[in-house]
Amino acid sequence: LKEILGCNLAGLSDVERNVIQERFALVSGVESPVPRTLEGVGRLLGVTKERVRQIQNNAFKKIRRTLETCDLAA
């Protein structure tokens, strides 16, 4: 997942990448990152938690598609 995000292999937008990084504490350069809730990410981005969920789901679809096509899941 970190490789997909780092190289943007899934073609995520900046917002999608930020949501995934914040939700799952994948922020590079931070000593001990803490995963954020949907609400916490929403506050950070200035959107509702429902919108964060939608963005997250769209990002997961792209990541899943990348894993399937690149055989990275094996």
Per-residue pLDDT tens over the stretch 15-65? 999 999 999 888 766 665 789 999 999 999 999 999 999 999 999 999 998
**Neighbouring residues of 70: CB distance < 8 A, sequence distance ≥ 6:** 9
Selected residue with higher pLDDT from 4 and 13? 13
Please tell me the predicted confidence (pLDDT) of residue 74.
52
Give the number of residues written for the chain.
74
What pLDDT score was predicted for residue 6?
A: 80
Cβ neighbors of 16 (< 8 A, separation 6 or more) are 55, 56, 58, 59, 62
Identify the residue with better confidence: 65 or 1. Answer: 65
Asked if 63 and 55 touch (Cβ cutoff 8 Å), the reply is no
Interatomic CA distance for residues 32 and 38, integer angstroms: 19
